[in-house]
């Protein structure tokens, strides 16, 4: 009976996570929050003190264009990765520091992008990602 209960609980937990958006980069999977509206994109990861190592935020834009991000009111260091319309990595702003002043620097992409992935600082180096690598998105 206990075994049956454990199996049912495990199945329920797996089903709960099945609908959560995920990305895969260099063989590693990350749960992501989707920022696909201007409001969500403007807020981004501001005011957060931590983020789990297996989580991030995926910004989805309606078209491909040069992008520039800043870290105003962001409290954690991030790797900002810019991807084109084909989900190919264009450039990385690695170990991007939080900004605690009123005039924050911008961190632009090196070319047109449509997707931007923010993960905890150091993950891009840990994964060994470089321009040309591909991102897989599972929106479910």
Q: Tell me what pLDDT residue 130 has.
A: 97
Residue 112 included in any domain? yes
DSSP annotation of 124: H
More confident residue, 102 or 81: 81
Q: Residue 66 is part of which domain span?
A: 21-138
Question: How many domains are contained in the chain?
Answer: 1
Residue 107 included in any domain? yes
Residue 45 included in any domain? yes
Q: pLDDT tens digits for 42-97?
A: 999 999 999 999 999 999 999 999 999 999 999 999 999 999 999 999 999 999 99
Pairing of strands 89-96, 28-35: unpaired
Q: Using CA of residue 27, residue 123, residue 96, residue 45, what is the dihedral sign?
A: positive
Residue 6 included in any domain? no
Residue 3 included in any domain? no
Q: Report residue 63 as tokens.
A: 């078209």
Residue 4 included in any domain? no
Q: Enter the pTM of the model.
A: 0.85
| Cβ contact 104:46 at 8 Å | no
Which uninterrupted H or E stretch holds 115?
strand 106-120
Q: Report residue 128 as tokens.
A: 């060994």
Domain CATH for 105: 2.60.120.1140
Q: DSSP letters along 32-59, please?
A: EEEE-SHHHHHHTTTT-S---TTEEEEE
Q: Tell me what pLDDT residue 102 has.
A: 87
Q: How far is CA 24 from the centre of its chain?
A: 10
Q: pLDDT tens digits for 24-41?
A: 999 999 999 999 999 999
Q: pLDDT tens digits for 4-14?
A: 333 333 333 33
Residue 131 included in any domain? yes
Which uninterrupted H or E stretch holds 25?
strand 22-25
């Amino acid at each position: 009976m206990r075994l049956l209960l454990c199996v049912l609980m495990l199945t329920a937990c797996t089903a709960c996570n099945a609908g959560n958006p995920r990305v895969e980069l260099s063989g590693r999977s990350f749960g992501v929050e989707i920022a696909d509206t201007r409001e969500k994109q403007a807020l981004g990861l501001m005011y957060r003190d931590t983020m789990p190592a297996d989580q991030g935020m995926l910004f989805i834009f309606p078209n491909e264009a040069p992008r520039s991000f800043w870290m105003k009111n962001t409290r954690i260091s991030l790797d900002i990765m810019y991807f084109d319309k084909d989900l190919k990595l264009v450039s990385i702003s690695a170990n991007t520091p939080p900004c605690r002043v009123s005039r924050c620097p911008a961190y632009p992409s090196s070319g047109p992008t449509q997707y931007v992935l923010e993960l905890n600082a150091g993950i891009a180096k840990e994964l060994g990602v470089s321009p040309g690598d591909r991102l897989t998105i599972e929106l479910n």
